[in-house]
Amino acid sequence: MRYSLTAPRVKRLLDTDTKLWALFTIFIVALFAAIKITLELLIAAQTIQMNAYRDERSQYEAQIENLQIQTHMVLQDIETVSRTAAKNKVIKDSLINLLDLIPDQIYLTEATASETALRIKGYTPSQDIYNYLLRPPLESIFAKTAVSFLADGRGGYAFDSVSVMDENERLFYGE
At 170 the pLDDT is: 59
At 4 the pLDDT is: 76
**Which option is the CATH number for 104-175: 3.40.720, 3.20.14, 3.40.50, 3.30.1360?**
3.30.1360
Are 118 and 142 in contact by the 8 Å Cβ rule? The answer is yes
**pTM > 0.85: yes or no:** no
Each of the 175 residues of the chain gets a pLDDT tens digit; together they read: 667 778 777 777 778 888 899 999 999 999 999 999 999 999 999 999 999 999 999 999 999 999 999 999 999 999 999 999 988 887 788 778 777 878 888 888 998 887 788 899 999 998 998 888 888 888 888 888 899 999 888 889 999 999 888 776 655 554 4
Are 57 and 51 in contact by the 8 Å Cβ rule? The answer is no
Largest Cα span, the chain: 173
